[in-house]
Amino acid sequence: MQNKDNRPEHVQEFIGKYEETNPISKYLVDGFYGALESLIPSDVATVLEAGCGAGYSADRIVPMLKNATYEGSDIGEELISIAQEKHPNIPFSIESIYDLQREDNSFDLSLALETLEHLDDPLKALQELKRVSRKYVIISTPREPLWHALNMARLKYVGSLGNTPGHINHWSKRGFQKFASQEAKVIDVRSPIPWNMILLSVED
């Protein structure tokens, strides 16, 4: 099914928040990226964002990186096509977060933002993010039960009690830290409403 802009519905669902004009939504998204910028270490020169979607996150992340290089990847061919059109000078690849086509320790930092909640095996994805990173991993997910509650408050997804379609994993702040610490050392945590965000060290 296509929307009025000729974009498939699943693509529109993914990028809709980045085109949101509601001032509250924009404020929350700005808070999300402000928290991310505060977590990115200064000794990062190469970055991979797995699950980068249509490249809207690149709009915000690349200016944070100063002289660092950025690459993006996603399993969605249509999303990567949009990302590459938006950013012709940035390398984007079609690949699964479970099987990143990269050498071990290829990047200083690997990112997965608002991705793990969609996955059948988020631990496997985290292990792959760790494999390709030589220094750090940053991951973020919606913070529960706050995410559900805010959706219900705005009368979204009421039939599923506020659960966003496609979200199959649900973490509290503490639960997400426990999950992440299975694979790497938690260095720092941010809680921009309504998300969890963690910086991990993969160095021994």
- Give the confidence band of 204 by pLDDT, cuts at 50, 70, 90: confident
Within-domain flag for 2: no
Going by C-beta distance under 8 Å and a sequence separation of 6 or more, which residues neighbour residue 24? none
8-39 pLDDT, tens digit per residue, is: 444 444 455 555 567 888 899 999 999 999 99
Query: What pLDDT does 2 receive?
Result: 36
Pull the structure tokens for residue 187.
């260095």
The CATH number of the domain holding residue 126 is: 3.40.50.150
Q: Which amino acid, residue 78? A: E
* Cβ contacts of 4 within 8 Å, gap of 6 or more: none
143, part of any domain:
yes
- Whether residue 1 lies inside any domain: the answer is no
pLDDT digits (tens, 9 = 90+) for 154-184: 888 899 988 888 999 999 999 999 999 999 9
| Owning domain of residue 53 | 9-201
Share of the chain above pLDDT 70, in %: 90
More confident residue, 74 or 67: 74
Spatial distance between the Cα atoms of 114 and 153, rounded to a whole number of angstroms = 21
Q: Are 98 and 128 in contact (CB under 8 A)?
A: yes
**Residue 20: predicted pLDDT:** 56
Q: What is the rounded average pLDDT for all residues in the chain? A: 90
Higher pLDDT, 196 or 23: 196
Residue found by looking up tokens 């979607």 in the block: 53
Q: Does residue 150 form part of some domain?
A: yes
Q: Is residue 3 part of a domain?
A: no
- Whether the CB-CB separation of 128 and 99 falls below 8 Å is answered with yes
Any domain includes 4: no
Q: Is residue 136 part of a domain?
A: yes
Residue 115 lies in a domain: yes
- The total number of structural domains that make up the chain: 1
β-pair type (185-190, 195-201): antiparallel
